[in-house]
Structure 1
Amino acid sequence: MRRALDRLYDGCAALAACFMVGLLVAVLLSILGRQLHFNIPGIDAYAGYLMAGAGFLALAHTLKRGEHIRVTLLVGRLSGGAQRAAELWALFAATLLAALGAFYSVRLARQSWQFHDISTSNDATPLWIPQLTMALGTVVLAIAFVDEFVLELRGQRLPPLPEEASHNE
């Protein structure tokens, strides 16, 4: 199960990286279009879709690598059982919030598909297509938070500290 979850997080991160490359290509095409006097309709909208997709798809991988911003002002001052209880509470609350975000993201994409909602820009893209990346990213983030919560309950979670965070003064 651990390997399957790690592959899921890594797969979403790889897809996010592909979206970042696509974003770079879209921005470069937009710049070239202005310089060489040609227009690709909707390129700015597509760049926005790719940027949003990259951000949402990278959320779970970022969480699992300990790169999410954490405010440890209170938890860092606690020790022993109090610290573990605070971690469990924080992970439980984050899991609930991630599950709500996932639920409503999936619901939004489904409703956009049902109502044939399209982009208001000149690309007229069916909105459920770019919203799928948001839905997938939030669902995988919710899975990652459940994973972290279960690991903490079992006492197997080692909160990863990024190098940069440990050097802050």
Structure 2
Amino acid sequence: MAAARTLRRILDTFYLIGGILASLFLIAILAIIVLQMLARWTGHVFPGATDYAGYCMAAASFFAFAYALNHGAHIRVSLLLTGLGRHRWWGELWCFGIGTAISTWFAWYAIRGNQISWRFKELSQGLDATPMWIPQLSMSIGTVMLAVAFWDHLVRLIFTGSHGITTDLVDQSQGE
């Protein structure tokens, strides 16, 4: 049991790190926008600012996925699952099974796309000419984190009967 608690703490910390990284990238977007405004007001140019803000937005989104799943912030089919009554477990199993398969597939191809961009030295088409593997790295890491989270919740559902998502507002309002 101590090993299970340690693994649970490690995974929850892993998801929290994703959430923290997502928030830092949101702050970076704010900083880039403010710097771009200051540059324009002083008659200067901040080349590539729009591209950098876009990269930060993508990073914030992908790093937030696992944290959001772990805290019940993703859109789920709770009304349908609640309507299944005693067969709810099977509905949850189906949903987490599909989510796990899709997120694992997505993570695999995100990593492959990142490798291809690195191998062919692909550059962005904007003024910044950033090697594309750099901003794509956040997508690869974020999708792997999401796949780990889906696998985590699927395995928990199979072995404990509960997926372990901490907040589900629809279910809480119904007293579950």
> In angstroms, what is the RMSD of aligned CA positions?
1.8
Amino acid at match of 1:38: H
Amino acid at match of 1:126: P
Unmatched segments (≥5 aa) in structure 2: 1-6
TM, length-normalised to structure 1: 0.92
Distance 1:132 1:76 in 2: 38
Aligned counterpart for 2:15 among listed residues 9, 14, 20? 9
Mapping 1:23-42, distance limit 5 Å: 23-42=29-48
Amino acid at match of 1:52: A
Unmatched segments (≥5 aa) in structure 1: none
Identify the residue that residue 44 of structure 1 maps to in structure 2.
50
Q: Determine if the alignment matches structure 1 residue 55 to structure 2 residue 64.
A: no
Amino acid at match of 2:110: S
Percent sequence identity is: 39
1:8 is paired with a residue whose SS is helix
Identify the residue that residue 155 of structure 2 maps to in structure 1.
150
Deviations 1:98-141 (A, max 9, x none): 00110111111110000000000010000000000000000000
TM, length-normalised to structure 2: 0.89
Amino acid at match of 1:139: V
Count of residue pairs the alignment pairs up: 167
Q: Determine if the alignment matches structure 1 residue 115 to structure 2 residue 120.
A: yes
Distance 2:66 2:79 in 1: 23
Residue 160 (structure 1) shift:
3.5
Deviations 1:70-114 (A, max 9, x none): 13342121111x110010011000000000110111111110000
